[in-house]
Structure 1
């Protein structure tokens, strides 16, 4: 019995030690998972502004751009070159700009050592020009996209969309803005001088392993790769001197997984004037704005002579503790410092009304579709390049109900369309979700309803995508595809793809 008691005592001591070690290890993980650069960034680098892409105009009026996907090297920190990818340069790409009604052509040449693609995120255009996984551009190959711009002025962007490889290609630097103008936007008294009082703000989170990017993931995170520093337009610790009382920031969350809650360090209010697909009906005053990956917002901030303020990202407003801590929801970052010149040019007051917003009417919806969002797939199915998941009739308006299955925070992006967010958890959406949207957050366990109108070209054989824009989720299979057909027509057959089997269209879910 004494020997047995001694054994129990030893075993108990060992168990207590193991428990203490495990508890201490978890406590270390918990504390080390939180990242904050708020208040500690020395803004030493002038913000780079992507150049406007040169273009030529043919005799028939077509505006022609050329993009070359290429590998290169970028010194984000002096003397430490990082291997990167870019369009027409080593990192990111130029800003394309066109006007409503223009016919545009973009010639894409891929000089990378692997297949990629270029998707025009937020653009309304035929499926064969969409630049999704069904329009690959092989190594050394060229692809030309042509379409007529037929949507309001907006801040859009372009990025790769190769099936199963999107996260990697975007992380390496392949992204750029695509700005659209129209008669309404150019007739308003808004800050509009590109690079002067109208600034692109492409926000990405990165971490470095020596000189190279580190794209590893914390094993407890379910969002994807999260960085510990912020790049804006490819600039670390950026500042921008401004010379106008009002400054327009076109903010793009180009990160692959991180969600930002933007505001200013001094809690000053700013005016939200536009969302993904264009201007709001009237400016909305906010002091915080959340953007998930792929979302855009146009904000206007007022500056006083000689002052400085910092655009900052703070923790998520909601969410449960585990996911917030390990998927970035507790993190804070200083993003961009604005430095006002000693004297500023006067800016006219923002218009009280920006114009009518063209949005689908949920009352005209002819049917409802349901989408269950989980990391295992959408509606229980992983992406299959050869399977048509939804068939929609051209000209119809539909109600799409999104339900987050509760395994992680997701968002939802639909190609080709700008939709109306009808409800969030049974209530009216917040003001930042009331404009034209192509990407919407869907928090854990939440239900979001969209009114979606399909008024573009029909093509029974080539699909558009819908997917989570947390790109690790997309690459793991959180994506589906739909075709738009003429009334009373049937879907065709998706062209064969190496990464998916081919199925007859009659096996897909149908609707009108």
Structure 2
């Protein structure tokens, strides 16, 4: 299981003031490690937090320590899970509008929120391999935004990174041909300095890619009956039940105590006595989740970020860092209607109870096998490392290769259609460091190794985000099918905004 939030903040010399301090006069500045002296870097790496009092740690962080993140609430199960609407194309055109509104998350209270085609979150966009599509994007917010298609194999000009700002009132058409297989992807904003807050307020939606093979597998696929999207987000509401991001914000990743699944607080999910497919998205700014059943029973994982595993993998628990997705199958046919069964996290917090009824859909499947033909080739294993990245730091003191993001700087170049090996090292500090979920835009990559060893069997599939623990080195086989400029970054949204991001130009 991936290490969960082994996080402390960094202290630096008197010359450098850490961005996590709420009282810092430089809390809004961007720190650049590339301009630090060797002595300053040494001081930063060598600091020992172990003798600090809890009060001093809290003062330094300015918010709750990520070493012991806020515990989530138990779901009371009083509200049936909301389902995002399915967005249908009209002549191949999907219209997607970012807008402001209010949502009744808590009964009788209007919370100011953002959403796509609605007041909170977005629809599920269903597209098919080989389909020519147009995403007609429209910004009705009062601030600039972008539309980033996370996990989509798309030309750089349509990727929706920070270069592609859409001003209030503007519209842009993103046209491309779907060139990837069945998968569960998602979309969210990516403007510099505003990504974390816009996602926090509700800008996120799912993309389902289907192909001819997936339609023949007999998987649970009846939307809202035995095939459910689950968008997990933790939030912290103020006394007025508002999403006050600036009050909750933590430079090391904003953590909340209230879980929303598909925007529903205290959710439950009603299912039939059959196999049920759950598409999990960790849509949180920073929180990691380890999912399990309170019964201790196993479930089957059938897909990673970018598509199906070759065959179902039996799991007792599954960990996802921000940005990661997975599809799982739970067999409810073996339970009684009175069975107390819930989805839990690693702290035994009840995330969502299930309500079992006798109803059974017509698309239920008895066996699942031969889902995909994913393979890591001998040629890929023999390729030399061509790109090395070092992730380091916390709070505002985060870097990749000792540099912070510069929109005018291209960090790497790569040839279109050629596979290269990226080696990413998560450099720990004296207190151990923290897990960084590493994401590359515009591609699905293969995990070749983690610290020289084969990845877990449930990660032997297409990925666009990989959790890298402190001290770990991960090797990825990366190929871009399109030209353009793409981001790579930590998917803790506050780290991304603080500079843990770079750019690769594909030519």
- Measured against the shorter chain, the TM-score band is 0.7 to 0.9
Query: What is the CA–CA distance in structure 2 between the aligned matches of 1:31 and 1:145, rounded to whole Å?
Result: 38
Give the secondary-structure state (helix, strand or coil) at the position aligned to 1:399.
Answer: strand
1:135-150 matched pairs, under 5 angstroms: 135-150=164-179
Give the secondary-structure state (helix, strand or coil) at the position aligned to 1:80.
Answer: coil
Q: Is the 8 A contact 1:105 1:144 kept in 2?
A: yes
- Structure 1 residues 254 and 23 mapped into 2: Cα distance closer, same or farther (>3 Å)? closer
- Structure 1 residues 107 and 358 mapped into 2: Cα distance closer, same or farther (>3 Å)? farther
Residue 96 of structure 1 is matched in structure 2 by 125
Query: What is the CA–CA distance in structure 1 between the aligned matches of 2:399 and 2:248, rounded to whole Å?
Result: 22
Q: Structure 1 residue 224: deviation in Å? A: 0.9
Q: Does 1:356 align with 2:390?
A: no
Give the secondary-structure state (helix, strand or coil) at the position aligned to 1:472.
Answer: helix
Q: Does 1:175 align with 2:175?
A: no
Query: What is the CA–CA distance in structure 1 between the aligned matches of 2:482 and 2:320, rounded to whole Å?
Result: 30
- Structure 1 residues 358 and 142 mapped into 2: Cα distance closer, same or farther (>3 Å)? farther
Deviations 1:174-211 (A, max 9, x none): 00000000011001011001111000000000111022
Q: Is the 8 A contact 2:226 2:361 kept in 1?
A: no
Residue 309 of structure 2 is matched in structure 1 by 280
Residue 314 of structure 1 is matched in structure 2 by 346
Give the secondary-structure state (helix, strand or coil) at the position aligned to 1:363.
Answer: helix
Q: Structure 1 residue 333: deviation in Å? A: 3.2
Query: What is the CA–CA distance in structure 2 between the aligned matches of 1:409 and 1:218, rounded to whole Å?
Result: 21
Query: What is the CA–CA distance in structure 2 between the aligned matches of 1:198 and 1:153, rounded to whole Å?
Result: 14
Q: Which has the larger radius of gyration?
A: 1
Query: What is the CA–CA distance in structure 2 between the aligned matches of 1:95 and 1:148, rounded to whole Å?
Result: 18
1:143-222 matched pairs, under 5 angstroms: 143-210=172-239, 211-215=241-245
TM-score in terms of structure 1 length: 0.81
Residue 260 of structure 1 is matched in structure 2 by 289
Residue 440 of structure 1 is matched in structure 2 by 466
Q: Is the 8 A contact 1:153 1:185 kept in 2?
A: yes
- Structure 1 residues 84 and 31 mapped into 2: Cα distance closer, same or farther (>3 Å)? closer
Q: Is the 8 A contact 2:342 2:353 kept in 1?
A: yes
- Structure 1 residues 25 and 268 mapped into 2: Cα distance closer, same or farther (>3 Å)? same
Query: What is the CA–CA distance in structure 2 between the aligned matches of 1:208 and 1:217, rounded to whole Å?
Result: 10
Query: What is the CA–CA distance in structure 2 between the aligned matches of 1:184 and 1:428, rounded to whole Å?
Result: 28
Give the secondary-structure state (helix, strand or coil) at the position aligned to 1:337.
Answer: strand
Give the secondary-structure state (helix, strand or coil) at the position aligned to 2:104.
Answer: strand
Q: Structure 1 residue 80: deviation in Å? A: 1.8
Select 2:399's aligned residue among 367, 370, 377. 377
- Structure 1 residues 441 and 23 mapped into 2: Cα distance closer, same or farther (>3 Å)? closer
Give the secondary-structure state (helix, strand or coil) at the position aligned to 1:67.
Answer: strand
Moved more, 400-409 or 142-151: 400-409
Query: What is the CA–CA distance in structure 1 between the aligned matches of 2:152 and 2:78, rounded to whole Å?
Result: 36
Gaps of at least 5 residues in structure 1 are 1-21, 58-62, 316-331, 486-512
Q: Structure 1 residue 75: deviation in Å? A: 1.3
Query: What is the CA–CA distance in structure 2 between the aligned matches of 1:155 and 1:218, rounded to whole Å?
Result: 30
Residue 386 of structure 1 is matched in structure 2 by 408
Q: Does 1:47 align with 2:76?
A: no
Q: Structure 1 residue 432: deviation in Å? A: 2.4
- Structure 1 residues 34 and 178 mapped into 2: Cα distance closer, same or farther (>3 Å)? closer
Residue 494 of structure 1 is matched in structure 2 by none
Select 2:434's aligned residue among 396, 405, 408. 408
Give the secondary-structure state (helix, strand or coil) at the position aligned to 2:143.
Answer: coil
Select 2:493's aligned residue among 467, 471, 478. 471
Residue 269 of structure 2 is matched in structure 1 by 240
- Structure 1 residues 24 and 104 mapped into 2: Cα distance closer, same or farther (>3 Å)? closer
Query: What is the CA–CA distance in structure 2 between the aligned matches of 1:301 and 1:96, rounded to whole Å?
Result: 24
Q: Structure 1 residue 364: deviation in Å? A: 5.8
Q: Does 1:457 align with 2:482?
A: yes
Q: Structure 1 residue 164: deviation in Å? A: 2.1
Count of residue pairs the alignment pairs up: 437
Q: Structure 1 residue 418: deviation in Å? A: 0.8
Query: What is the CA–CA distance in structure 1 between the aligned matches of 2:158 and 2:57, rounded to whole Å?
Result: 50
Residue 26 of structure 2 is matched in structure 1 by none
Give the secondary-structure state (helix, strand or coil) at the position aligned to 2:198.
Answer: helix
Query: What is the CA–CA distance in structure 2 between the aligned matches of 1:136 and 1:193, rounded to whole Å?
Result: 36
Query: What is the CA–CA distance in structure 2 between the aligned matches of 1:451 and 1:168, rounded to whole Å?
Result: 32
Query: What is the CA–CA distance in structure 1 between the aligned matches of 2:188 and 2:182, rounded to whole Å?
Result: 19
Q: Is the 8 A contact 1:391 1:483 kept in 2?
A: yes
Query: What is the CA–CA distance in structure 1 between the aligned matches of 2:286 and 2:307, rounded to whole Å?
Result: 24
Query: What is the CA–CA distance in structure 2 between the aligned matches of 1:365 and 1:217, rounded to whole Å?
Result: 48
Q: Structure 1 residue 218: deviation in Å? A: 8.0
- Structure 1 residues 359 and 76 mapped into 2: Cα distance closer, same or farther (>3 Å)? farther
- Structure 1 residues 183 and 364 mapped into 2: Cα distance closer, same or farther (>3 Å)? farther
Q: Structure 1 residue 411: deviation in Å? A: 1.4
Q: Is the 8 A contact 1:411 1:439 kept in 2?
A: yes
- Structure 1 residues 225 and 343 mapped into 2: Cα distance closer, same or farther (>3 Å)? same
Gaps of at least 5 residues in structure 2 are 1-51, 59-63
Residue 386 of structure 2 is matched in structure 1 by 368
Q: Is the 8 A contact 2:75 2:265 kept in 1?
A: no
Give the secondary-structure state (helix, strand or coil) at the position aligned to 2:105.
Answer: strand
Q: Structure 1 residue 24: deviation in Å? A: 7.8
Deviations 1:244-265 (A, max 9, x none): 4100000000001001011111
Q: Structure 1 residue 27: deviation in Å? A: 11
